[in-house]
Amino acid sequence: MSPLVLIASLYVFALAAFLGYQLISRVPPLLHTPLMSATNAISGISLIGSLVIAGMHKVNFHQLAAGGPQQKPSLATLLGFIAVTTATTNVVGGFGITDRMLKMFRKDTRSAKGEPK
Amino acid sequence: MNLGGHVNYLLEFTYLVASILFVLGLKGMSRPESARKGMFLAEAGMAAAIIGTLFHEGIVTYEWIAAGLILGSVIGALMAIWVPMTAMPQRTALSHAFGALAAALVGIAEFSLHGQSMAAFTRGALGFEVMLGSLTTTGSLIAAGKLQGVVRGTPVQFRGQQLVNLLLFAAMVGCFLHLLAHPGAAVFFYSMVALGFVFGIMLVIPIGSADMPVVMSLLNSYAGLAAAATGFVLANNVLIIAGTLDGFSGFILSVLMCKAMNRSMRNVLFGGFGAVRHTAQTQGGEMREIRLDDAALQLAYANKVVFVPGYGLATAQAQHAVRELANLLEERGVTVKYAIHPVAGRMPGHMNVLLAEANVPYSELYEMDQINPEFPTTDVAVVIGANDVVNPDARDNPNSPIAGMPILEVDRAKSVIVLKRGQGRGFSGLENPLFYKPVSNMLYGDAKATLNSLTQAVQQV
C-alpha cells in the first residue's frame, strides 16, 4: 500500500466514524434491534473480499476426481469458500430479518388491529 | 480493490454508489416510517457491490464462489424466515460470530497468499483484522450459547482469572508486535490467531446473562471494526466505510446500555456482575399474593394501566398474551401503555421488537423518561418478568450494587401487580424491595398462562 493510499484510507475511516456517530445517535431506541441486525448485514460487505479469494485459483475437478497430481484447492481457496458462506449468510439473513422486524412496527392501533394474526 | 495492478473504474464507481446507499439506508433508520425504504436502498447497494465484484479480473473460477453463495443464501434465508422474535438475541450474536469469522478467514487467507511481501502498515491492519475477528468469533459463539441456554448463563469465574486473561492478551499482542517486525514469522501469526480464539472465550464467560445487552453491542462493534480492518488490508473503501459504520453503531449502543445501568464498561467486562451476591439485609414484610379475580377487577376498573415487560416476557413467549389482555382493556375504555427500559431483555430494543410482533402499535411504547412522570397517575402497573429495571433500591439505597441505575418507577403507581415465576430472586440474585411494598401484589406462575387467565377473568367482570 502506497503512503498516499494509506492516508486516503485513514481519511475515509475518520470521516466514516463521524458520519456513523451522527447517523446512529439519531436512531430511536425503538429501532435498536433492527439497527443492530441492519448494520450487521451491511458489514457483510466483507463478502466482496472473500469472493476474490475464493475465486482466485483454478481448481480442476476432473483431475481432483481422478486423483491426479496436485490441483487440490489451496488453503486460501478453502478459507475463502467458508468466508463467502458465512458472509452471505449474514447478508441474506441480516437483511431478511431486519425487513421482517421492520414490517411489524406499526404506528396506530387501527392499522395494527386490521392485520391478521 | 486493486489486485490486478490497474484500476477498474467501473467497479470502484459501483463501490462508491454502494457506500452512499449504505449511508442513506442507515439514515432511514432514524424513523420507523422510513426504515424499510432505507433498507431497500442498502440492499440495492449490497447487490450492486456483489455483482460488480463477480466481474473482478482476479476471479478465474466460480465453483467455490457459487457453492458459498448458494449455501450461505440458503442458511441465511432459513434463519430470516424461521428464527422466532424471542430468539433474536441468539441470532444476532451468531451473526456477529459469522461476520467476524469471515473477516478472520479472509485475513488468514491473505497472509497465506502474500504475507511475506506485505508492507508493514498492511501487516498491522491484517493483525487487527485477524485478532478482532478471531476473538469476536468465539466470544459471540459463547454469548449465543449463553442466550440459548446451551452454555451456563451465570458468570464463570475462577481465582486468577484476570491474570490469565491479561497474560493471554499480552501473548496475543506480543505475537502481533513480533509479526510487525518479522513479516515471515508464520508461527507467530498462527499463534496470534489461536490466542485470539481462546481470548474471545475467556472474555465472555465471566459475564452474566443480564449484562448481555452491553456484550452484544460490544461484539457488534468488534465485528464491524474487523471488517473495517479488512478494508485497510485490501485497500477497499466501501469495506472501510461499512465496517466503520457497523463498528461505531455497536460502540454507541454499548455506551447507551452502560448508561442505562449506571455502570462503566470496565465494570461490565471485568466486574463479573450477576454472580450470586449475598445481600445481607432481608427486607421486612411479606410478599403479598393476590387472587386472580381481584387482579382482574383492578385492571377492569382502572383508568390507566402500564405494562412493564422484562426478559421474563421473552422466555415465557407471552407477548401475544399481553396484547390480548391489553386489547380487552382498551375495549373497556382503559388507557394502556407499555414502559420500556433500555436494558430490558437481552439486547438493545429487544422488548420493542417482541411487542411489535404481537401487533402492539409503537405509539403505545414509551421510553423510560417519557413514562416515569406518568406512574403517579397510573392505576395499575403490571410488571411482567422484569426485576432489576424496576428495583427501587437503585434509587433509594446507595449501598445497593445497582445504586444509581435509572429505573422505571412503578412503585409510584397506585397499585402494582408483579407477574413472577416464583418467589426466587431472579437472574441477578438481587433482593427487590418493590415486591414487599404495600402497593405491590404478586401473581406467581408462568407469565403466559397467568396473562391468559387474567384475560378470561377480565372478560367475566
The per-residue DSSP string of B266-322 comes to HHHHHS-TTS-----PPPSS-PPB--HHHHHHHHHT-SEEEEEE-HHHHHTT-HHHH
Structure ipTM: 0.90
Instruction: Give the Å distances, CA to CA, from B292 to B319, B383, B413.
Output: 19, 15, 19
**B440 - beta bridge partners?**
B416
The DSSP letter of residue B367 is E
Write out the CATH class of domain B292-459.
alpha beta
pLDDT of A64 strictly over 60: no
Whether residues A40 and B220 touch (CB distance < 8 A) is answered with yes
Angstroms from A70 CA to nearest CA on chain B? 17
Taking the domains of chain B in order of start, what are their residue ranges? 1-82, 88-270, 292-459
Angle, CA B6 vertex, CA A73 and CA B42 arms, to 5°: 75
- Rounded CA separation B286/B442 (Å): 10
Closest CA to B372 of B396, B385, B389: B389
The set of long-range contacts for B392-398, using a CB threshold of 8 Å and a minimum separation of 24, is B392/B433, B392/B434, B392/B437, B393/B430, B393/B431, B393/B432, B393/B433, B394/B262, B396/B433, B397/B433
B460's grid cell: 367475566
Closest CA to B221 of B179, B180, B269: B269
Helix (H/G/I), strand (E/B), else coil: B431: coil
Whether residues A85 and B75 touch (CB distance < 8 A) is answered with yes
Q: Residue for cell digits 382502572?
A: B302
Instruction: Give the Å distances, CA to CA, from B250 to A16, A20, A30, B243, B400.
Output: 14, 10, 16, 11, 29
Angstroms from A50 CA to nearest CA on chain B? 6
From first to last of the 461 residues of chain B, give the pLDDT tens digit. 444 456 788 999 999 999 999 999 999 999 999 999 999 999 999 999 999 999 988 888 899 999 999 999 999 999 999 999 989 999 999 999 999 999 999 999 999 888 788 888 889 999 999 999 999 999 999 999 999 988 887 788 888 888 898 999 999 999 999 998 888 788 999 999 999 999 999 999 988 888 888 999 999 999 999 999 999 999 899 999 999 999 999 999 999 999 998 888 887 777 655 444 444 455 566 788 899 999 999 999 999 999 999 999 998 999 999 999 999 999 999 999 999 999 998 899 999 999 999 999 999 999 999 999 999 999 999 999 898 899 999 999 888 888 889 999 999 999 999 998 877 666 666 788 899 899 999 999 999 999 999 999 999 88
Angstroms from A67 CA to nearest CA on chain B? 19
pLDDT in tens, A6-41: 899 999 999 999 999 999 999 999 999 999 999 999
Helix (H/G/I), strand (E/B), else coil: B381: strand
Q: CB of B21 within 8 Å of any CB in chain A?
A: no
Residue among B388, B396, B411, B446 flagged as catalytic = B388
Q: What is the pLDDT of residue B117?
A: 82
List strands edge to edge, sheet with B304-309: B365-367, B335-340, B304-309, B380-384, B415-420, B440-444
Q: What is the pLDDT of residue A37?
A: 95
Q: How many CA atoms lie within 13 A of B74 on its CB side?
A: 5
Chain B hits for A46, CB-CB cut-off 8 Å, are 99, 102-103, 106, 227, 230, 239, 242-243
Q: Residue for cell digits 470502484?
A: B12
Q: How many CA atoms lie within 13 A of B325 on its CB side?
A: 30
- pLDDT, average across residues A56-68: 56
Q: Residue for cell digits 475515509?
A: A12
Is B126:B106 a contact under the CB 8 Å cutoff? no
Nearest to B61 among A28, A58, A107 (CB): A58
Q: What is the pLDDT of residue B431?
A: 81
Counting every residue written for chain A, the total comes to: 117
Instruction: Give the Å distances, CA to CA, from B268 to B207, B212, B215, B272, B273.
Output: 7, 10, 8, 7, 7
Could you list the beta-strand ranges (E) of B185-272. Answer: none
Q: What is the pLDDT of residue B406?
A: 94
Cβ burial, residue B77 (10 Å; 0-12/13-18/19+): middle
Instruction: Give the Å distances, CA to CA, from B449 to A26, A65, B111, B445.
Output: 38, 59, 56, 7
Confidence of residue A65 (pLDDT cuts 50, 70, 90): low
Q: What is the pLDDT of residue B389?
A: 92
Q: CB of B377 within 8 Å of any CB in chain A?
A: no
Q: CB of B47 within 8 Å of any CB in chain A?
A: no
Closest CA to B453 of B290, B314, B342, B332: B290
Chain B hits for A81, CB-CB cut-off 8 Å, are 64-65, 67-68
The answer to whether B396 is a known catalytic residue is no
B349's grid cell: 430494543
Whether residues B3 and A88 touch (CB distance < 8 A) is answered with no
The set of long-range contacts for A20-23, using a CB threshold of 8 Å and a minimum separation of 24, is A20/B26, A20/B244, A20/B245, A20/B247, A20/B248, A20/B249, A20/B252, A21/B248, A21/B252, A23/B23, A23/B26, A23/B27, A23/B29, A23/B30, A23/B245
The DSSP letter of residue B410 is G
Q: CB of B403 within 8 Å of any CB in chain A?
A: no
pLDDT of A114 strictly over 60: no
**B417 - beta bridge partners?**
B382, B441
The DSSP letter of residue B342 is T
The DSSP letter of residue A30 is G
**B298 - beta bridge partners?**
none
